Structure 1
Amino acid sequence: MDAQKRIKQLMEERGWTDYRLAKEANLSHSTITNVFKRNNAPTLPTLEVICRAFGITLAQFFAEGGEAVEITDEQRELFAKWSTLTEKQKALLLEFISTLQ
């Protein structure tokens, strides 16, 4: 999935500009414009904040065809705990998880 296209789609559905998304997500306008102008894929923490601004979960963001995504209680717990981690802790956790695969 192309994250930039999905963000644009969600913005268009809501009639939001880059500036509005930045304001709703409490991000700098340059962060949002860099996602589109420099073709920078947003980091996971940035994407989490953007999803919160849109009022959706990461699972809903990545759902194909707009279908509803059901998440388990375990997944919900993981998302809740993820959002309490520092950036360093998130990076370490992702590194650890990649070693399990």
Structure 2
Amino acid sequence: MNYGKRVKYFRDVAGISANALAKNVCLDPTTIYKIEANDAKPSLGSLERICEALGISLADFFSEDNQELEPELRRLLNTAKKLTTEQRDYLQKLLDSLSKD
């Protein structure tokens, strides 16, 4: 598995800079850059903190299915997961109305 590519993908999806991610997980920014360049592998503890900061689980990180979604769609999905059932129903109606054009 290409850890660096996965970290960069989910970081892009989250819309967070490498420096901001490093600050959030108490790592030096060069460490994040090295991980993304596959010059270093994160420890399990670091990877858990990275995933938490990016709003994903370790299962999401290791799942191959996540690569199929474009970053914009993944960001929408992550936002929709945080909505209440009522808000999701409203969002679905809005999306249905937009797609009927």
Count of paired positions: 67
Residue 22 of structure 1 is matched in structure 2 by 22
Residue 9 of structure 2 is matched in structure 1 by 9
1:39 aligns with 2:39: yes
Larger RCO of the pair (alpha carbons < 8 Å, separation 6+): 2
**TM-score (ref. length: structure 1):** 0.57
Measured on the aligned residues, the alpha-carbon RMSD in Å equals 2.0
Gaps of 5+ in 1: 68-101
Distance (whole Å) between structure 2 residues aligned to residue 7 and residue 22 of structure 1: 12
**TM-score (ref. length: structure 2):** 0.57
Distance (whole Å) between structure 1 residues aligned to residue 38 and residue 64 of structure 2: 25
CA displacement, residues 2-27 of structure 1 (integer Å, 9 cap, x when unaligned) = 11000000111122221011122232
Q: 1:57 to 1:38 in 2, by over 3 A?
A: closer
CA displacement, residues 56-96 of structure 1 (integer Å, 9 cap, x when unaligned) = 211111011229xxxxxxxxxxxxxxxxxxxxxxxxxxxxx
Matches within 5 A, 1:1-101: 1-37=1-37, 39-66=39-66
Q: Find runs of 4+ consecutive structure 1 residues off by over 3 angstroms.
A: none
Partner amino acid, structure 2, of 1:46 = S
* Larger radius of gyration between Structure 1 and Structure 2: 2
Q: Alignment identity in percent?
A: 37
